[in-house]
Amino acid sequence: MAEILFKLLEMTIIIALLIPIAAMLVWVERRMIGIWQDRLGPNRVGPFGILQSLADLLKILGKEDWIPPFSERLVFTIAPVIGAVCVLMSFAVIPFSPSIGVSDLNIGLLFFLAMASLSVYSVVLAGWASNSKYALLGGMRAAAQTISYEVFMGLSVMGVVLLTGSFNLREIVIAQESGWLIQTQFLGFIIFLIAGIAESHRLPFDLPEAETELTAGFHTEYSGLKFALFFLGEYLSVTLISAMSVVLFFGGWLMPEPLASWLPPLVWFILKILFFVMFFILLRTSLPRPRFDQLLSFGWKYMLPLALINLLATAAFKLGGFYG
């Protein structure tokens, strides 16, 4: 009973921290983009504009939570909740440190992939239930993009499973004590990262929301708290993909000696996540958006063959005894 209460407390604390982190990432993104583009960024509300996210949150929660009369009311309301819940549930299997983590599932990696697959229902249902041509086009784009890049994401991590012999994320981290998997799975990491960007609908792969083409895509008709849930899901997705990249390829909380003793494992894990979050933000300022047909062609013509080559090469080297 005590163990169950401890896990519930741990889960509550993690969720309570994740939601403000998503809000703070908005400020971090605006601030970093301002620095990189040689402009000020948010600097009025609070010191360094740090309270701008709080002001935006209060504004968005104060807006009318309007439901279009032409929409499918029930589905329209449920859709944003599905996306936010799927992302939050994915964090349940993330091992933050040797002792911190909600669930130590033997199939943690498969659970993450399953939640990523279920999250597509959020945008598809939102696009359909809005009964709007721009929202529907955004939902259809999101379905094609997410389902396509899920294939490459799943294949990219199979090399990690072959080398560690486990789907358990904590065991995958522990297996990297002798060396991070980025050394042997660099190609798998690149494929995973690109697929993760596409899954989270971040620039340059934000085609389901492309403002210049679709107004706001699948969430065109959303406002108030429902729009805030889509926003929450997007920024938590950035954090989730960053965390999974660290867990699968960069040793999780592990650091080589003597660096490991400088800071607690949880701090090293957070610092690694922040590095990838900054990378996501830098991509937004650097790369143009491709056409949708180019995005899908790139996936099926290049990502799929490379993912299969990486998997076959890893299997061959493993059988040949090169990886121990």
Contact call for residues 67 and 131 (beta carbons, < 8 A): no
d(CA 244, CA 279): 14
Q: Could you say which DSSP state residue 114 is in? A: H
The CA–CA distances, whole Å, from 110 to 59, 90, 93, 106, 167 equal: 38, 10, 10, 9, 7
Reported as half-sphere exposure (CB side, CA atoms, 13 A), residue 9 has a value of: 6
The amino acid present at 217, given as its one-letter code, is G
The CA–CA distances, whole Å, from 48 to 51, 55, 157 equal: 8, 14, 40
Output the pLDDT for position 324. 60
Helices and strands in the chain: count of H runs, count of E runs: 14, 0
d(CA 100, CA 109): 17
Closest CA to 251 of 183, 321, 157: 183
* Cis amide bond preceding 204, omega within 30: yes
Classify burial at 207, counting beta carbons within 10 Å of its beta carbon; exposed 0-12, middle 13-18, buried 19 or more.
buried
The amino acid present at 182, given as its one-letter code, is I
Helix 120-129 with 73-90: angle, nearest 10 deg? 160
Tens of pLDDT, residue by residue, the chain (324 residues):
677 777 777 778 877 788 888 888 888 888 888 888 888 888 888 888 888 888 888 888 788 778 888 888 888 888 888 988 898 889 889 998 888 777 788 888 999 999 988 888 888 888 888 888 888 888 888 888 888 888 899 999 999 999 998 899 999 999 988 889 998 899 999 999 999 988 888 778 877 776 666 777 777 888 788 888 888 888 888 899 999 999 999 988 888 877 877 888 889 999 999 999 989 888 888 888 888 888 889 989 999 999 999 999 999 988 887 766
Output the pLDDT for position 323. 66
* Torsion, CA 130, CA 135, CA 136, CA 138, rounded to 10: -150
SS3 119: coil
Output the pLDDT for position 1. 66
d(CA 49, CA 4): 40
